[in-house]
Amino acid sequence: MTHHCAALFISAPSSGSGKTCITAAIARSHARRGRRVRVFKTGPDFLDPSILERASGRPVYQLDLFMGGFAHCQALLADAARDADLILVEGVMGLFDGNPSSADLAAAFGLPVACVIDASAMAQTFAALATGLQRFRPELRHCGVIANRIGSAAHGRMLSEGLPDDLPLIAALPREPRLILPERHLGLVQALEQPGLDAQLDAWADAWEAGLRPGLAFKPLPFEPGAEPSLRPLLGGRRIAIARDAAFAFIYPANVDLLRALGAELVFFSPLRHEALPGCDAVWLPGGYPELHAEALGAHPTLAAALASHVGAGKPFLAECGGMLALLDELTDAAGEPHRMAGLMPGRAHVQHRLAALGLQAIDWPEGPLRGHSYHYSTLETPLMPIATASNPNGGKTAEALYQQGSLRASYVHHYFPSNPEAVAAFFGS
């Protein structure tokens, strides 16, 4: 059944233009008026979605034509359209950057595009940049443009000069230091680590409403149901323990949904709060920031022994990126301080100040091919030989190894489970 819902795709000419702030501002503005808002993030990302989830009050899913494919993205949008009043999709990088790009996604689903442009250092050139973005791919439907970080009302008026009638200035927001989000090496600081975030989101919403020009109308769009295959309960009766806290927060909601759809019972625990490993048939240690919490993790009284016992019993154990780092013999943080880790996987890692790897990844598990991405600032030294090596669909140099030691499987790759449900079920059900 086709569902109709208003929708807007928020993009920009480049990263750093303020897409997340604007998307969050629109979401909070509508949500606090009682509207049901569903927000999506283009491509692999864990940090922006944590902010957008707080702004909208609902989980934020990824839309990625490589990791999930068209039918999967279509199903996610149709499911959201069934009960939402407004769908917002935040792009990634610049509108045409990457492959697949934000433009590819917007075009695939006919989503109206509004580009956020940092106008802090321009005046009439704003219109030239906006119209260039509009005309570069004529099949895209641009509904207007958003000016961010303006200096004054007069500045805002100058920015609108030269814009064509079919590309109006939707809103102009001021440059205010109090609206800037804190960042660290992987991007924005997680929502759960920002005690003042809700007040800041309300301030963004206030700025959006104050800067909104008359004329923006959200037109309902049709969202067709996706043609995804039905899932069998291949993990029925299986209990999977998942670490989830500030040290292990990089979890795709779609991964959790898939495990449940496969019939698994999920139980979450916090290593940071020194919670014990729950009784389970399998463990998933996702990525996050173990380097920021190494002392607390190292002081856990039972976790290392419990995980070792789990592996000793031959039970499946998946560790991704930061989850893998937490299992090593040693992890040296960015300040050069070494920390003893769980010692389940031989090797050492060093967190550095420059990016070590970034890119989409395709990797062949023994159970079948999966897709995902890699993004980290650490380097790893281990005597283990990879059982597989990922490839980057865009030819980038990032090609992560997949390690196996007994029932432990570890990699820097953040796997997107819906890319191969049967392979995921075969691993966790083994």
Cα–Cα distance list, 322 to 227, 270, 278 (Å)? 34, 14, 20
Buried/exposed 247-261: b ≥16 CB within 10 Å, e otherwise: bbbbbbebbbbbbeb
pTM score, two decimals?
A: 0.95
Is 269 a residue whose pLDDT tops 90? yes
The 10s digit of each residue's pLDDT in 341-381 is 999 999 999 999 999 999 999 999 999 999 999 999 999 99
User: In whole numbers, what is the pLDDT of the chain averaged over residues?
Assistant: 94
The 10s digit of each residue's pLDDT in 118-164 is 999 999 999 999 999 999 999 999 999 999 999 999 999 999 988 99
**Whole-number Å distance between alpha carbons of 198 and 355:** 30
Residues 128 and 190 in one domain: yes
Residues 100 and 200 in one domain: yes
**Domain end: 223, 247, 281, which one?**
223
Residues 211 and 266 in one domain: no
How confident is the model over 266-291, as a mean pLDDT?
97
What local confidence, expressed as pLDDT, does residue 113 receive? 98
The 10s digit of each residue's pLDDT in 19-69 is 999 999 999 999 999 999 999 999 999 888 999 999 999 999 999 999 999
How confident is the model over 386-399, as a mean pLDDT?
95
Amino acid identity of 212?
L
**Whole-number Å distance between alpha carbons of 62 and 326:** 26
What local confidence, expressed as pLDDT, does residue 1 receive? 83
**Whole-number Å distance between alpha carbons of 357 and 373:** 10
Yes or no: say if 358 and 342 are a contact pair by the CB < 8 Å rule. no
pLDDT above 90: percentage of residues in the chain = 88
Q: In what order do the strands lie in the sheet with 378-381?
A: 338-340, 330-332, 348-351, 378-381
Is 180 a residue whose pLDDT tops 80? no
Residues 42 and 135 in one domain: yes
The 10s digit of each residue's pLDDT in 203-254 is 999 999 999 998 777 789 999 887 777 899 999 999 999 999 999 999 999 9
Is 39 domain-assigned?
A: yes
The count of other CB atoms within 10 Å of the CB of residue 103 is: 22
Cα–Cα distance list, 27 to 4, 42, 220, 354, 377 (Å)? 18, 16, 17, 33, 31
Residues 209 and 279 in one domain: no
Is 195 a residue whose pLDDT tops 50? yes
Is 228 domain-assigned?
A: no
CATH number where 326 lies: 3.40.50.880
Q: How confident is the model at residue 329 (pLDDT cuts 50, 70, 90)?
A: very high
What local confidence, expressed as pLDDT, does residue 234 receive? 97
Is 197 a residue whose pLDDT tops 90? no
What local confidence, expressed as pLDDT, does residue 189 receive? 62
pLDDT above 70: percentage of residues in the chain = 96
Residues 257 and 151 in one domain: no
Buried/exposed 392-406: b ≥16 CB within 10 Å, e otherwise: beeeeebbbbbbbbe
Label the pairing between strands 378-381 and 348-351: antiparallel
Give the distance from CA 319 to its chain's centroid.
Answer: 18
Is 229 domain-assigned?
A: no
Residues known to be catalytic? 321
Is 187 a residue whose pLDDT tops 70? no
Q: How confident is the model at residue 324 (pLDDT cuts 50, 70, 90)?
A: very high
Q: How confident is the model at residue 188 (pLDDT cuts 50, 70, 90)?
A: low
The count of other CB atoms within 10 Å of the CB of residue 141 is: 15
Going by C-alpha positions, the residue among 25, 21, 56, 18 that lies closest to residue 40 is 56
Beta bridge partners of 187: 184
Residues 175 and 131 in one domain: yes
Is 184 a residue whose pLDDT tops 50? no
Is 330 domain-assigned?
A: yes
Residues 275 and 161 in one domain: no
Range of the domain at 153: 3-223
Q: In what order do the strands lie in the sheet with 368-376?
A: 357-365, 368-376, 414-416
Q: How confident is the model at residue 176 (pLDDT cuts 50, 70, 90)?
A: confident
Is 397 domain-assigned?
A: yes
Give the distance from CA 93 to its chain's centroid.
Answer: 13
Is 186 a residue whose pLDDT tops 60? no
